[in-house]
Structure 1
């Protein structure tokens, strides 16, 4: 059995590995619908901006001290009425997938959301990503109706499922 990872706040020193994980998702998956590869400075700026706005970025670290994944949340929509709702992301390095790291990161992220008194957490998931949908269901997220063909990547239309969880009453 894989030992539980260390989960800690990200630092700028983690930007290189976060960039690698992010760019792998961009280039090879529909977990993120961006198509632009970013550089390390882009992720450093993102870390600084996200943390400066009071949002967490957590990383998982293995026994050797290598970052194996990350999770974060930020605003769902820009209007004040949505200020108690966040949307999250969780990504695991391709060499460390299917080891339960996403679940560990999500548990830690949900704890941060509780501490911040977040009301609702949302996940936007490619409808064909059965593993992510199953993980979110196991964590207590509920699915809303899929939105057909609202995105495109790799030359095909993608359906989006929003999943949500009530964090704070």
Structure 2
């Protein structure tokens, strides 16, 4: 298994993982599926802003992906990013998420980011536990702000300070 920057050839694998999460989980609160062209455009937009899109691959098979982008589109939040990480159903429980997160956090630090934010539905206990193990702390619990599969969903925000800078 290798973790590297994603390219257009990875788009179909990324779309497959994304669409599985759309169909079967509350990790993504979107209901529409995407195709490879959509994921290429998404990757190019992220990369044009200088942000990484990482893939974990075995051979040419995408096992997982991770990225981050601006948390909010205002100048005062430029040192804060929000991330996403998704792993293929067949590759879960093997430590891949932790490995992707470590590389993603290193990339954020290298870009001078100060805080990384995670927004996770409260029922996604595996992701919540992983983030807590990585040092993220809960900063908010927003009740019934999301919906999917005919239910209201709580959203938990966690944050990780990436560096000890006392001032920007």
Query: Per-residue CA shift, 1:24-75, capped at 9, x if unaligned?
Result: 111110001111111111111111111011110000012x342100000001
Residue 145 of structure 1: how far off its partner (Å): 2.8
2:62 to 60, 67, 72: 67
What is the TM-score of this pair, normalised by structure 1? 0.95
What is the TM-score of this pair, normalised by structure 2? 0.95
For 2:60 and 2:34, the matched residues in 1 are separated by 24
Task: List runs of 5+ in structure 2 lacking aligned partners.
Answer: none
2:21 to 25, 46, 60: 25
1:10 to 6, 12, 15: 6
For 2:35 and 2:127, the matched residues in 1 are separated by 26
1:139 to 131, 134, 143: 134
For 1:145 and 1:119, the matched residues in 2 are separated by 18
Q: How does 1:4-153 map to 2 (within 5 A)?
A: 5-62=1-58, 64-153=59-148
Task: List runs of 5+ in structure 1 lacking aligned partners.
Answer: none
After TM superposition, the runs of 4+ consecutive aligned structure 1 residues lying more than 3 A away are: none
Query: Per-residue CA shift, 1:95-124, capped at 9, x if unaligned?
Result: 111111000000000110110110000000
